[in-house]
Amino acid sequence: MSDVEAPVLRDLQSAATSHRGDRIFNRTIAAAAFTALIVLGGITIFLGAQAIPVLQQQGLAFLTTSEWNPPDYGIWGMLYGSVLLAIIALVIAVPASLLLSVFMVFLAPKPLATVLTNLVDLMAAIPSVIIGLWAFYVLAPVSEGWQQLMNQYLGWIPIFQNDSGNFSGTPFTAGFVLAIMMIPIVTSVTREVLGRTPPELINASEALGCSLWSMLRYVALPYGRGGLVGGVMLGLGRALGETIAVFFVLKIVFDPVNYYKIIESGGGSVATLIVSKFGEASGPYETQLLLAAGFFLFMMTLVVNVIANLIVNRTGRLQS
């Protein structure tokens, strides 16, 4: 063996960065790389600056009451409504996405799986305003019929109560639309996570006589648990921030807050509130209220997304 020590790449790099052109290049690129931080910080500071006077004037009631009558404003109903819609969407979209990705990874023949992957990606690319248009004219009438049936046969369950007989603009329809938008996002992550289950483990479990069900239950799902949870939370972040598709199918109601009657007309969503009230905002103060509402929406989605990304990153890098 030779006695000559090869310089490691690190040394080469530091030697190279002593070059003046390189220093300029590195600093320019590093400055550009912090755009993301600047934008996130800017949103926090500038929207936060609008939220402070609102909180001073309205007090905590801005977050805990539900009202939009001058001079009293409160967005509790909207915050709660956003979470309720997201839960409805999760209940529909998570099983659907998991089953869809199980079909694509373990059941479908390879050519069919490729076609389905492309179709799911195409579904993810459909703009939300088009989904909203479709939901308003095609889905909502169908959904009303189904909700009447649910009320007729399952009305004894509290969540399927409906006292008004009005089935339009319900949280259920809005949650369903959100679910349709979440399915491709969640599926693209869960498909990749399930597809990464090591084939040795799958083969070993089959050699031990496991059925598909026990392979999923004891091998694939535990192996990909982190990625699956992260994927669902990424979808949740999207659902909380979605504006336009919900705007067309949800009737915004401040008082009384619709806590659990998901097929009763009327609900809330912070993002939709901002768009629907912005056009008719009566003055700078109402605009400021909407900016404050946007600040709390941003904080809510930021927390969900950061947790989701931490979980996904811990389980290895994924494209999404």
Partner 1 sequence: MSSTIVFDAETIPALTEQKPQTPWGRRTGKFRLVVVLAIVIPALIVGSLFMFSTLPGAVIMVAVYFPLQIIATVLAAISVRGTKSAGDAVIIVSAIGATIFSGIVLISLLWSIITKGIQAMSMAFIFQNNEYISPSTPLGYGGIGHAVLGTVLIVGISALIAVPLGVMTALYITEVRGRAVPYVRFFVQAMSGVPSVVAGLFILTVLILTGVLNNSAFAAGLAYSILMLPTVARTAEEVLKLVPEELRTGALALGSTRARVALRVVVPAAKTGIITAAILGVARVVGETAPLLLTALKNDKTVLNPFSEPISALPTYIFTNVAQPYPDAVLRAWGAALALMVIVAVLFTVTRVLSAKRPGK
Q: Which residues, numbered 42-101, are part of the site for partner 1 (CB under 8 A)?
A: 42-43, 46-47, 50, 95-97, 99-100
C-alpha distances (whole Å) from 277 to each of 34, 170, 226, 248, 286 are 34, 19, 39, 14, 9
Q: State which of residues 189, 194, 290, 311 lies at the interface with partner 1 (CB under 8 A).
A: 290
Applying CB under 8 A, which part among 55-63, 117-125, 192-200, 251-259 lies near partner 1? Answer: 117-125
Applying CB under 8 A, which part among 65-73, 162-170, 243-251, 260-268 lies near partner 1? Answer: 243-251
> Which among 263, 279, 317, 245 has a CA at the least distance from the CA of 145?
263
Minimum distance between the CB of residue 161 and partner 1, rounded to whole angstroms? 20
Identify which of residues 64 and 313 has a Cβ nearer to partner 1 in the complex. Answer: 313
Alpha helices in the chain (DSSP H): 9-17, 20-33, 35-58, 61-64, 76-102, 110-125, 128-134, 140-154, 171-195, 199-207, 212-215, 221-223, 225-241, 244-249, 270-278, 284-314
Strand 72-75, strand 66-69: pairing? antiparallel
Applying CB under 8 A, which part among 60-68, 112-120, 162-170, 254-262 lies near partner 1? Answer: 112-120
Q: State which of residues 4, 8, 33, 207 lies at the interface with partner 1 (CB under 8 A).
A: 33
Residues 196-225 that bind partner 1 (CB under 8 A): 211-214, 216-217
16 lies in the site for partner 1, by CB under 8 A: yes
Taking the CB of residue 15, how many other CB atoms lie within 10 A of it?
10
Applying CB under 8 A, which part among 69-77, 154-162, 165-173, 274-282 lies near partner 1? Answer: 274-282
Identify which of residues 64 and 214 has a Cβ nearer to partner 1 in the complex. Answer: 214
Minimum distance between the CB of residue 256 and partner 1, rounded to whole angstroms? 25
Applying CB under 8 A, which part among 52-60, 164-172, 196-204, 305-313 lies near partner 1? Answer: 305-313
The DSSP element (H or E) to which 74 belongs, if any, is strand 72-75
25 lies in the site for partner 1, by CB under 8 A: yes
Q: State which of residues 169, 231, 241, 266 lies at the interface with partner 1 (CB under 8 A).
A: 241
The Cα 238–Cα 236 span in angstroms is 5
For residue 165, the SS3 value is coil
Q: Which residues pair with 66 in a beta bridge?
A: 75
Rg (CA), the chain: 25
The token duo for 35 is: 């755009």
Residues 128-157 that bind partner 1 (CB under 8 A): 128-134, 136-138, 142, 145, 149
Q: Is 227 in contact with 152 (CB distance < 8 Å)?
A: no
